[in-house]
Structure 1
Amino acid sequence: MSLVNILNIQVLDNPTGFHNEFKFEITFECNAELKDDLEWKMIYVGSAESPQYDQVLDSIMVGPIPVGVNKFIFSADAPKLELLPQRDLLEVTVVLLSCLYHDKEFVRIGYYVNNEYTDEELRENPPPQVLVDKLQRNILADKPKVTRYNIDWYGQGQTQDQNNEQETTQQPMDQDMMVQ
């Protein structure tokens, strides 16, 4: 059982221009007192072919965390274009939200991102050089992929369920999670 459960993630300002910030309103529940902050990371997957193009858009510490329901807005600048392959600027990629406690990731939420031209003529006949100022980013907010990991919340060498092996599950968000 996780001491922190994600209740809702709302994608803000979506769809938007490629150069605009990513904005997520994150609501989570803390079930017990945490001694330290949570670390949140936002990662843009620059190419499906190689992780060398992945960019950490931002990493923030959130805390102290009171027991109960908590909410914050996590925003980050768009990825640096000079670090992305031109051929991967269009079409589908992924943005990841990752949360860690004591440098141990316990949840990762992935969203597909579709980058496309807003102009139909450009969509049908894309120029050889991508016109980034004409791109729109659309995060597919209603279909997140969630991976949960059991971690040792108390620093005693075992996960909370007393299992020494890390369990990984990949499944849609919980039924009670409202994703908008």
Structure 2
Amino acid sequence: MVKGVNICDVKVMNNPAPFLDPFSFEITFACHEDLPDDIEWKIIYVGSAESEKLDQTLDSVLVGPVPAGKHMFTLEVPGPDPSRIPDQDVVGVTIVLITCSYREKEFIRVGYYVSNSYKELELHENPPEKPKYELLERNVLSTNARVTRFAIDWGDSETITSGHVANGEQSTVNNEEAQKNLETDFEIQNKENNQQQSAVESANEKATGNAEKDAPSGIKDSVVETMDTSNAAAEAATA
């Protein structure tokens, strides 16, 4: 019997929005059987890819006990505290995470890239050393969620996993099949979106490489490279 909880849909509300505005998410999830204890939902803002110490838990909420079935709620949390973000990390791309835990064990997280930029062209091209928070716009890239599952004990011997057991060893084929069976349309669609994005980025890299190869020596240095998010930030989304 399938046990646990899976996320059916997440809608990012009020997006794009001013940098200092609250985040708002409409979350739909399915519970496969009655859960006697609370589920804890957290929203975490990654302040810098350089250190987890700069992550900010914007808020958390307990939902439960949870009966079997589909449920929906809206989670609105304050925006990040700018004083806790290094100036050089305010503008650009970062991550916001939605995590879900049962009995203090995280079993699923959804990560979104967040782009913070100035709407005014002059500020966009020449950003000030000290960020002007009130002029920044925040855009959550809502079509490219990264969904990660973790194995936990739901109160009996059965666990649901994303491909690895708690000690880091490879899980069994049966657990991998269980994971596939749990995937919702929300997860499948975002996985396809991410694969398409990766294909586009790969094509862009090849095109840029060919352009550099074919260009005369005096022009090679002027080839514009496509912007890429940092590897550290990408790892933070699925850590």
Tell me the TM-score normalised to structure 2 length. Answer: 0.68
Secondary structure at the residue paired with 2:159? coil
> 1:139 and 2:133 equivalent?
no
- Looking at structure 2, the residues matched to 147 and 62 of structure 1 have their Cα atoms a distance apart, in angstroms, of 20
- Looking at structure 2, the residues matched to 20 and 94 of structure 1 have their Cα atoms a distance apart, in angstroms, of 16
- Looking at structure 2, the residues matched to 159 and 150 of structure 1 have their Cα atoms a distance apart, in angstroms, of 10
Which stretches in structure 1 are left out of the alignment for 5+ residues? none
- In structure 2, the residue matched to 1:101 is 102
Identity among equivalent pairs (%) = 43
Superposed CA offset, 1:65-84 (max 9, x none)? 12111000011101111111
CA positional deviation for 1:2: 4.6
CA positional deviation for 1:174: 4.2
- Looking at structure 1, the residues matched to 160 and 26 of structure 2 have their Cα atoms a distance apart, in angstroms, of 30
Alignment length (residue pairs):
174
Q: Return the structure number with greater helix share.
A: 2
Alignment of 1:45-124 (within 5 A): 45-124=46-125
Superposed CA offset, 1:127-168 (max 9, x none)? 2211111000000000000110121001x4x44369x93359
- In structure 1, the residue matched to 2:185 is 176
- Looking at structure 1, the residues matched to 116 and 94 of structure 2 have their Cα atoms a distance apart, in angstroms, of 8
> Structure 1 stretch 112-121 or stretch 1-10: which is displaced more?
1-10
Superposed CA offset, 1:41-60 (max 9, x none)? 10000000111110000011
Tell me the TM-score normalised to structure 1 length. Answer: 0.89
Secondary structure at the residue paired with 2:123? helix
- Looking at structure 2, the residues matched to 143 and 161 of structure 1 have their Cα atoms a distance apart, in angstroms, of 23
- In structure 1, the residue matched to 2:165 is 165
Larger radius of gyration: 2
- Looking at structure 2, the residues matched to 24 and 161 of structure 1 have their Cα atoms a distance apart, in angstroms, of 25
RMSD across aligned positions (CA): 2.4
Secondary structure at the residue paired with 1:27? strand
- Looking at structure 1, the residues matched to 56 and 102 of structure 2 have their Cα atoms a distance apart, in angstroms, of 21
Secondary structure at the residue paired with 1:52? helix
